[in-house]
Chain A
Amino acid sequence: MNNILVFPMVLPIIAGVILLFFRSKPAIQRWGSILTMIAVFAISLWILFQVMDQTILRLNFGEWAPPFGITFVADAFAMLLVTSSSLVSILCLLYAAFAKDEKREKFFLYPFLLLLVAGVNGSFLTGDLFNLFVCFEVMLLASYVLMTLGGEKRQLTEGIKYILINILSSWFFLLGIAYLYGSLGTLNMAHLSQRIAEAGQPPLLTTISILFLVVFSLKAGLVLYFWLPGSYSALPTAVSALFAALLTKVGVYALFRVFTLLFYHEPSITHTIIGLMAIITMAGGSIGAIAYTDLRKIAAYNVIIAIGFILVGLAANNEAAIQGSIYYLMHDILVKGLLFLIIGTVIYVTGKTKLDQASGLITSYPLLGWLFLITTLSLGGIPPFSGFAGKLLIGQGALEAGEYVIVAAAFLSSLFVLYSLLRIFLNMFWGETSISQKNRVILPKGMIAPCLILALLTVGLGLGMGVVSPFVAEAAHVLMNPEIYIEGALKDE
């Protein structure tokens, strides 16, 4: 029994609900939520080290033994993601605290941000398919509110589309759960994995797996990303950074969990389709990233390219590639947060959203400019930064699996990432300065601090590969050997 497992989900909920009572005191809201997330980060780091000792930790809710009750199961993969998402939420909250958007703060910005984090952490930790649905819904409900908070016209119209798409994908999720329960009679993921292995994954189950592929692709933005650029660019900076860092990653996590733990018997069908979808995603994302001049759209299409890239690892389906994907997933959670924060800051200081509307920012804001360059290089996968290790391992693994076309597409997409962001850098930061000294907006130190910390983290993650690699190796090992997870999730205590 490890009650500690429930804290990454319950602590943000409790804090969020308590903060509801402090509506008129923004200072308590800001610092209360940041302190909560620091506590969650510390706890998840502690659990991560426990997991390295004991492989799998499990908590049976209400002492109902699995497979009958709901369980929380923590393995290294889940905990790495919980830890990095808690870290990035601390920094996004810090940014929000200094951005001081009082209109939204009054309407419970922080409680809903905390609720969103609770849903995300719950999705990573749960060991039950239906509970995954519930955690998804907690996360989505919070995201619906955050999406429309503030009530600007653009937010409302984009919000309606976003909610409609997500209701539909939740519907498919329930449909998949119903079919799976009807055919296998259980919803505990470890138990499902056992039963699917016993049945040898007949065509019926493969069909159901495609249903789950559609659901999670919609959430992750894999091929079905049409909803993403519009809705992400309607959001305030801190919220959009948190969305970009976390929401799609939960879909990616679910894809990895489902296709390494449950439906891994027919890789020639499912994993080939995933590979194909990854290529289409990267191609579509690349086209979008270079076609638009709106900064937020370019950033949103970069999210999509990254999703495609991470799933190349799942398509290759060997240990090196999965390691690369996990590495890249952590990198992407941090750097996408950073990218959206910087883009938001640029829009804040210039008041312009298109890249040809301002230039020469680097003379006025040198730190911001160099941070943007670091982000660009990190996303492009240039060696000292964190993107490199992931790209290298994914490429290596995919080559081992003989997926030459996918590797080519993946590295071509990296060039597009680099080009699309360098275009912003050259247009906006280089050249004649367009801001006269007296019109200069003063950039609060508190807004640049989270960006600086995230940039240091991406450098740190790149240079400190040796520190992180045992965790990543362990995570990939458990993912590639489902029997370890099943043993940990079902054994009697």
Chain B
Amino acid sequence: METMIILLAGVLVSVATYLLLSKNMIRVVLGTAILSHAVHLLLMTMGGLKIGSVPILGDTVETYTDALPQALILTAIVISFAVTAFFLVLVYRTYQTTGTDNLLEMKGTEEDE
């Protein structure tokens, strides 16, 4: 199971890399979103999957699921949600101001030219 998820994370990273390298700003935003999902999956897998019990440790309990990775992922998801939302708004504003969604047309500044 872990191997499957790790492979899935790898696929997501390659998809995200492809999107990040494109010229279109919306694709770049999608790329960052997928990138963060890939690392969330990895984080979850690092805590171990499919142990099949609840994350409560007691005296008589033999196995328990590590609750920490889940807490970490929830925090990371909230953060990536906020960042992606802000990035999306920013990209939209930039598109309005510059009139282009092509990153190649945003190289440098007017003064450098």
Contacts and interface: CB of A to CB of B under 8 A. Distances in A.
Interface of A: 130, 133-134, 137, 140-141, 144-145, 148, 151, 153-154, 156-160, 163-164, 167-168, 170-171, 174-175, 177-179, 181-182, 187, 230, 234, 294, 353
A179 B28 contact: no
Please report whether the interface of chain B is mostly helix, strand, loop or mixed according to DSSP: helix
Nearest to B89: A148
A440 to B, nearest CB: 25
B47 interface: yes
A171 B86 contact: no
Residue of A137, A168, A353 with most partner-chain B CB within 10 A: A137
B46 A171 contact: no
Contacts of B97: 151, 153, 156
B43 interface: yes
B68 to A, nearest CB: 8
Given A130-B72, A174-B40, 6 more contacts: A141-B86, A159-B94, A174-B36, A177-B43, A178-B42, A294-B111
Contacts of A177: 43, 72
Given A156-B93, A174-B76, A163 B87 contact: yes
Contacts of B39: 171, 174-175, 178
Contacts of B94: 156-157, 159-160
Contacts of A171: 35-36, 39
Contacts of A160: 25, 90-91, 94, 103, 106
Contacts of A170: 79, 83
Contacts of A294: 111
Given A151-B93, A174-B39, A181-B69, A167 B83 contact: yes
B42 A353 contact: no
Nearest to A131: B75
A134 B98 contact: no
Interface string B82-113: 11001100110110011000010010011100
A164 B83 contact: no
Interface string B49-84: 000000000000000000011001001100100110
Contacts of B46: 178-179, 181-182
Contacts of B69: 181
26 contacts: A130-B72, A130-B75, A140-B83, A141-B83, A141-B86, A144-B83, A144-B86, A144-B90, A156-B90, A157-B94, A157-B106, A158-B109, A160-B25, A167-B35, A171-B35, A174-B36, A174-B43, A175-B39, A177-B72, A178-B39, A178-B46, A181-B47, A182-B46, A182-B47, A234-B109, A294-B111
Q: How large is the interface on B (under 10, 10 to 19, 20 to 34, 35 or more residues)?
A: 20 to 34
Given A177-B43, A178-B42, A181-B47, A156 B98 contact: yes
Contacts of B40: 174
A174 B44 CA distance: 11
Given A160-B25, A178-B42, A353-B111, A167 B93 contact: no
Contacts of B35: 167-168, 171
B32 A164 contact: yes
Contacts of A158: 109
Nearest to B72: A130
Contacts of A141: 79, 82-83, 86
A192 to B, nearest CB: 13
B32 to A, nearest CB: 5
B32 A167 contact: yes
Contacts of A153: 97-98
B23 to A, nearest CB: 13
A466 B30 CA distance: 54
Residue of B35, B46, B103, B110 with most partner-chain A CB within 10 A: B46
A137 B93 contact: no
A130 B73 CA distance: 11
Contact of A178 (B36, B43, B79, B83): B43
Contact of A148 (B68, B82, B90): B90
B13 to A, nearest CB: 9
A160 B105 CA distance: 13
B70 to A, nearest CB: 12
Contact of B83 (A137, A175, A187): A137
A167 B72 contact: no
The 4 tightest CB contacts between A and B, nearest first, are: A182-B46, A157-B106, A156-B94, A178-B43
Nearest to A144: B86
A324 B42 CA distance: 40
